[in-house]
Amino acid sequence: MIVVKHSIKTQNGYGNRSFQNVLKNRTFKFTGLWVWLGLLAWTARAQEFSDLFADRQLVTGASVVVTGSNTNATVEPGEPLHAGKIGGHSVWISWQAPENGVLTASTAGSTFDTLLGLYTLHSGSSPLQRLQEVSADDDEGQSFTSQFTVGVNSNRIYQIAVDGFDGAVGNIILNLHFLSSSNLQPTVLQRPGDQALRLGDPLILSIGITRVPGMDLTWYLNGSPITDDSAGPTLVIPSLQRTNLGFYSVRLELNDDNFFSTPVEIQVNSEGQSDVLARYKAADAAVSGLQPHAGGGVALGYNGTQIFNTTNSIADPNAPAICGATGGAPYWYSYQAPTNGIMTLDTAGSSFATLLGVFTYDGVLSSYTNLIQVACDATNGPNGLPSQVQFPAENGRKYLVVVDGVNGARGIAHLNYSITPGLPAVPPVISTPPQSLTVADQTTVALQVMADGTAPLTYQWLLNGAALKNETNASLLLTRPRSKNQGDYSVVVTNVAGAVTSAPANIQIIATPLTMVDPASNVMIMAFPATRGYQYAADSLIGGLQTGWTPWTNVLPDYGGIIWLTNAIHYDRSWFLRVHSP
């Protein structure tokens, strides 16, 4: 029998990839075939992957290898995007934790670009809609395979999905390796998604976790700690800067056990589009790009900048070369032209020597062979850093822009774009006004506005109609708000062609539980201030105290740190409710 050393070490740098996940005196190394051969003695040969979630089989054991293929698998209606990425051929299996401990799941040795997701089932109707993500990964492993380490609890059944990125198929090797522990493990119940903000915007990241006594939390950025162990589940950066870009994750430590949450990528989009991101895979970028509004009018993409950190890029050997030069750390950006005109792209402001390429394609992008080169440039700007291209862009055509580093250089990339259509200036139009919120006392929140119109746009925030001094960004951060900060917030957006004022967003701040009753609908609504990010428990009591409290439900505070509970009430008896830490 081959003995597998209890060790895990990530092999490259993508979010968690740059982390050395050390479980005190335990160092794991998963290197494809080596692990597979080492675990053959524990392979669950009787179990197979299932295409349909309802047909999944259960595997048990501390060290398990399940093999199979996703070639003929499908995706079911309502199935989540595993690791938040587009798949197309998912298979399922269930695993039951023998004890409390730490599980490492890996698809090392699989023959295609995998996506891996770990879920639990919560209450609900449709099984697929009851899935609650615990951990997920796209490319933590070698050769675009997946890997994560996560805490699990005794006898809990976990649902595991393996899919292929952008429809990839092939042979699967799923390695499950479990280390027992005396600790009840915390569970990540909710995590933020990848997002883009504007420079100077507040960044607020919050994960939802079960609170476990003795647990330490540390936030990491690109593999380096940025808080101490006493940090909470919410991270606030008041003003986003270039140095804050990259992959964020939380290290959860409990005595000798530790693992990381699934990483979240943060970028900058100067036009305020939070879902527009550059990606190190072209197919991923194609569904995350900048495009005009479907309703017409003022379109995005006339002038702007996308800023991102390429430190964690992974190069695909099948990708086309840029101007015949050697790269090694590409990031792709999808852009749909809003009009006919002369398009100018450059990388001025980047921290490294760049390569810049532009491609287009007809129909749906299926592979790199569909790409048609439009323009390319190696470093040619001042100090040998920026690259620049110009080309005639076609209205509605999709372009894929790739920024790479000369000889694999990595760092902060600026992709600046502008198109000259010869159109008159268009006044600003608010596309997304600030939203009303009920906020827990002293819980930091941000108000955001998104507007279209000819750049540049300027902003002025108002509280109850009065201008707020120095609040001239597209975002307004309310740091530790108190009752005096309540009221109606609005923002005036201005450019050379005019101005527009947003509808007011009412901000209500509560420090004690709030109860509202609507006798007409027989509904009572209760709001409890809480610490954002932690899971709480609600108990109910009907009648006198002698009947005792009954567990009712588990809840997480919303973005404003408020726990909302709504329930039909009956006036012929007493009904009590309390909320507390589990």
Residue 112 clears pLDDT 80, i.e. is over it: yes
In this structure, the answer to whether residues 74 and 141 fall within a common structural domain is: yes
Select the more confidently predicted residue: 179 or 38: 179
Instruction: Tell me whether residue 547 is in a domain.
Output: yes
In this structure, the answer to whether residues 521 and 406 fall within a common structural domain is: no
- Which backbone phi and psi does 430 adopt, to 5 degrees? -80, 120
Name the β-bridge partners of 567. Answer: 524
How many Cβ atoms from other residues are within 10 Å of residue 536's Cβ? 19
pLDDT per residue as tens digits for the range 69-103: 999 999 999 999 999 999 999 999 999 999 999 99
Q: How far apart are CA 413 and CA 405, in angstroms?
A: 9
Give mean pLDDT, residues 332-349: 92
- Identify the band that residue 543 occupies on the pLDDT scale cut at 50, 70 and 90: confident
Find out whether 187 and 214 touch, Cβ atoms under 8 Å. no
pLDDT per residue as tens digits for the range 445-471: 999 999 988 878 899 999 999 999 999
Q: How far apart are CA 210 and CA 229, in angstroms?
A: 17
In this structure, the answer to whether residues 412 and 433 fall within a common structural domain is: no
Name the β-bridge partners of 65. Answer: 175
The residue type at 192: P
In this structure, the answer to whether residues 395 and 361 fall within a common structural domain is: yes
Smallest CA-to-CA distance from 47 within 99, 92, 79, 4 is with 92
Least confident of 55-59, 81-85, 290-294: 290-294
Residue 120 clears pLDDT 60, i.e. is over it: yes
In this structure, the answer to whether residues 361 and 319 fall within a common structural domain is: yes
Residue 363 clears pLDDT 60, i.e. is over it: yes
Residue 3 clears pLDDT 50, i.e. is over it: no
- Identify the band that residue 294 occupies on the pLDDT scale cut at 50, 70 and 90: low
122, 156, 180 - which closes a domain: 180
Residue with tokens 């086309």: 320
In this structure, the answer to whether residues 373 and 472 fall within a common structural domain is: no
| 230 burial via Cβ count (<10 Å: 0-12, 13-18, 19+) | exposed
Select the more confidently predicted residue: 520 or 220: 220
Q: How far apart are CA 316 and CA 562, in angstroms?
A: 44
Residue 279 clears pLDDT 90, i.e. is over it: yes
Q: How many domains does the chain have?
A: 4
How many Cβ atoms from other residues are within 10 Å of residue 255's Cβ? 12
- Identify the band that residue 143 occupies on the pLDDT scale cut at 50, 70 and 90: confident
Q: How far apart are CA 174 and CA 28, in angstroms?
A: 16
Residue with tokens 């506005």: 449
- Identify the band that residue 232 occupies on the pLDDT scale cut at 50, 70 and 90: very high
Mean pLDDT score across all residues of the chain: 86
How many Cβ atoms from other residues are within 10 Å of residue 369's Cβ? 8
Smallest CA-to-CA distance from 538 within 548, 551, 556 is with 551
Three-class SS of residue 142?
helix
- For a pLDDT cut of 70, what percent of the chain falls above it? 88
Cite the DSSP H helix spans in 251-371.
282-286
Instruction: Tell me whether residue 222 is in a domain.
Output: no
Residue 123 clears pLDDT 60, i.e. is over it: yes
Instruction: Tell me whether residue 364 is in a domain.
Output: yes
Query: 285-300 b/e with 16+ CB inside 10 Å = b?
Result: bbebbbbbeeeeebbb
pLDDT at position 31: 39
- Identify the band that residue 301 occupies on the pLDDT scale cut at 50, 70 and 90: confident
Residue 16 clears pLDDT 80, i.e. is over it: no
Find out whether 146 and 114 touch, Cβ atoms under 8 Å. yes
Strands (E), 239-387: 246-254, 257-260, 264-269, 303-309, 331-336, 341-346, 354-360, 372-378
pLDDT per residue as tens digits for the range 370-429: 999 999 998 755 555 689 999 989 988 999 999 999 999 999 999 999 998 866 778 899
Q: How far apart are CA 329 and CA 404, in angstroms?
A: 5
Q: What is the CATH number of the domain that holds 473?
A: 2.60.40.10
Q: How far apart are CA 4 and CA 35, in angstroms?
A: 7
Least confident of 136-150, 285-299, 320-334: 285-299
- Identify the band that residue 44 occupies on the pLDDT scale cut at 50, 70 and 90: very low
Q: How far apart are CA 227 and CA 204, in angstroms?
A: 14
In this structure, the answer to whether residues 414 and 503 fall within a common structural domain is: no
pLDDT per residue as tens digits for the range 473-521: 999 999 999 999 999 999 999 987 889 999 999 999 999 998 887 777 7
In this structure, the answer to whether residues 452 and 558 fall within a common structural domain is: no
Q: Please list, in sequence order, all residues whose beta carbon lies within 8 angstroms of the beta carbon of residue 227, skipping any fewer than 6 positions away.
A: 217, 218, 219, 235
Q: What is the CATH number of the domain that holds 336?
A: 2.60.120.380
Give mean pLDDT, residues 290-296: 67
In this structure, the answer to whether residues 28 and 67 fall within a common structural domain is: yes
- Identify the band that residue 230 occupies on the pLDDT scale cut at 50, 70 and 90: confident
Smallest CA-to-CA distance from 337 within 401, 251, 412, 388 is with 401
Find out whether 311 and 221 touch, Cβ atoms under 8 Å. no
* Peptide bond before residue 77 is cis, with ω within 30 degrees of 0: no
Q: How far apart are CA 7 and CA 23, in angstroms?
A: 8
Rounded (10°) CA dihedral 220, 226, 230, 233: -50
Smallest CA-to-CA distance from 485 within 468, 473, 472, 502 is with 468
Residue 38 clears pLDDT 90, i.e. is over it: no
Give mean pLDDT, residues 153-161: 96
pLDDT at position 515: 86
Residue 192 clears pLDDT 80, i.e. is over it: yes
Round to the nearest angstrom and report the end-to-end CA distance of the chain: 44
pLDDT at position 12: 35
In this structure, the answer to whether residues 496 and 570 fall within a common structural domain is: no
Best mean pLDDT range from 32-46, 111-125, 508-522, 563-577: 111-125
Query: 410-444 b/e with 16+ CB inside 10 Å = b?
Result: bebbbbbbbbeeeeeebbbebbebbeebbbbeebb
pTM equals: 0.84
Find out whether 313 and 322 touch, Cβ atoms under 8 Å. no
| 368 burial via Cβ count (<10 Å: 0-12, 13-18, 19+) | middle
Instruction: Tell me whether residue 298 is in a domain.
Output: yes
Q: How far apart are CA 251 and CA 258, in angstroms?
A: 7
pLDDT at position 39: 41
Least confident of 9-18, 162-171, 429-438, 531-540: 9-18
Give mean pLDDT, residues 230-259: 94
Range(s) of the domain holding residue 535: 512-580
In this structure, the answer to whether residues 499 and 547 fall within a common structural domain is: no
Instruction: Tell me whether residue 201 is in a domain.
Output: no
129, 158, 180 - which closes a domain: 180
- Identify the band that residue 525 occupies on the pLDDT scale cut at 50, 70 and 90: confident
Give mean pLDDT, residues 170-175: 97
Select the more confidently predicted residue: 12 or 283: 283
398, 420, 442 - which closes a domain: 420
Query: Pairing mode, if any, of strands 195-197 and 264-269?
Result: parallel
- Tokens matching residue 308: 């991102």
Instruction: Tell me whether residue 410 is in a domain.
Output: yes
Residue with tokens 């005109």: 341
Select the more confidently predicted residue: 295 or 243: 243
Q: What is the CATH number of the domain that holds 96?
A: 2.60.120.1050
Q: How far apart are CA 139 and CA 147, in angstroms?
A: 7
pLDDT at position 298: 54
Instruction: Tell me whether residue 227 is in a domain.
Output: no
Find out whether 103 and 147 touch, Cβ atoms under 8 Å. no
Instruction: Tell me whether residue 247 is in a domain.
Output: no
In this structure, the answer to whether residues 63 and 108 fall within a common structural domain is: yes
